[in-house]
Amino acid sequence: MNALTCRRWKHALGLFTGGLLALVLTGANGCSSDPNIEGAKLDLRNKDYARALENVEKALQRNPQNADAYELKGRIILDILSNQQNMPLEARRDTVKAMVAAFQKAIELNPKLREDVINQLRFAFVREFQNGVNAFNRGREDSTYFVRAATFFELATLIQPDSAGAYVNQAFSLLNAGRQSESIAPLEAAIAKGETSLDAYLILADLYRFQGQPNKAIEVLEKARSLYPDNAELQSQLLNAYVQAGRTDEAMSIYGQAVAQEPNNKLYRYNYGSLLLEAGRYDEAIEHLKKAIELDPEYANAYYNLGAAYINKAVDVNEKAIALDDSLRANRSQLSREQQQQLEAQIDQLVRERRALFAEAIPPLERARSLMEAQGENVAGICRALFQAYVQTDQTDKAQAVASCAGLEDNNGN
Q: For 250-273, what is each residue's pLDDT tens digit?
A: 889 989 988 998 999 999 999 999
179 part of a folded domain:
no
Give the C-alpha separation, 7 to 133, whole Å: 19
235 part of a folded domain:
no
Give the C-alpha separation, 26 to 22, whole Å: 12
pLDDT value at 118 more than 50 = yes
pLDDT single digits (tens) 72-114: 999 999 999 999 988 999 999 999 999 999 999 999 999 999 9
Q: Which of 109, 142, 174 is the last residue of a domain?
A: 109
- State whether 402 and 306 are in the same domain: yes
- pLDDT at residue number 233: 86
Instruction: Calculate what percentage of the chain has a pLDDT beyond 90.
Output: 82
- State whether 338 and 387 are in the same domain: yes
Q: Look over the chain and give the mean of its residue pLDDT values, rounded to a whole number.
A: 90
- pLDDT at residue number 17: 38
Question: Radius of gyration over alpha carbons of the chain, in Å?
Answer: 33
Q: What is the mean predicted confidence (pLDDT) over 148-173? A: 96
132 part of a folded domain:
no
- State whether 286 and 316 are in the same domain: no
Q: What is the mean predicted confidence (pLDDT) over 346-350? A: 95
- State whether 280 and 370 are in the same domain: no
- pLDDT at residue number 235: 85
38 part of a folded domain:
yes
Domain that holds residue 61: 34-109
pLDDT single digits (tens) 278-310: 999 999 999 999 999 999 999 999 999 999 999
160 part of a folded domain:
no
- pLDDT at residue number 27: 47
59 part of a folded domain:
yes
pLDDT single digits (tens) 222-232: 999 999 988 88
Q: What is the count of structural domains for the chain?
A: 3
- State whether 261 and 307 are in the same domain: no
Angle, CA of 304, 305 and 306, to the nearest 5°: 90
SS3 state of residue 8: coil
CA atoms within 13 A on the CB side of 394: 4
- pLDDT at residue number 408: 84
Say which residues have a Cβ less than 8 Å from residue 42's Cβ, sequence separation at least 6: none
- State whether 355 and 277 are in the same domain: no
173 part of a folded domain:
no
Give the C-alpha separation, 16 to 129, whole Å: 7
Give the C-alpha separation, 328 to 344, whole Å: 8
- State whether 374 and 291 are in the same domain: no
- pLDDT at residue number 16: 42
412 pLDDT band (50/70/90 cuts)?
low
Q: What is the mean predicted confidence (pLDDT) over 124-139? A: 96
Q: Give me the DSSP letters along 218-261.
A: HHHHHHHHHH-TT-HHHHHHHHHHHHHTT-HHHHHHHHHHHHHH
- pLDDT at residue number 229: 87
* Lowest model confidence (mean pLDDT) among 29-33, 143-147, 248-252: 29-33
- pLDDT at residue number 32: 58
- State whether 292 and 305 are in the same domain: no
CATH code at 279?
1.25.40.10
- pLDDT at residue number 34: 82
- pLDDT at residue number 259: 93
Q: How far apart are the first and last CA of the chain?
A: 31
Strand (E) or helix (H) holding 47 = none
pLDDT single digits (tens) 177-226: 999 999 999 999 999 999 999 999 999 999 999 999 999 999 999 999 99
Q: Which of 109, 137, 169 is the last residue of a domain?
A: 109
- State whether 256 and 273 are in the same domain: yes
SS3 state of residue 373: helix
330 pLDDT band (50/70/90 cuts)?
very high
222 part of a folded domain:
no
- State whether 317 and 401 are in the same domain: yes
CATH code at 364?
1.25.40
- State whether 283 and 324 are in the same domain: no
- State whether 101 and 47 are in the same domain: yes
Q: Which of 297, 318, 336 is the last residue of a domain?
A: 297
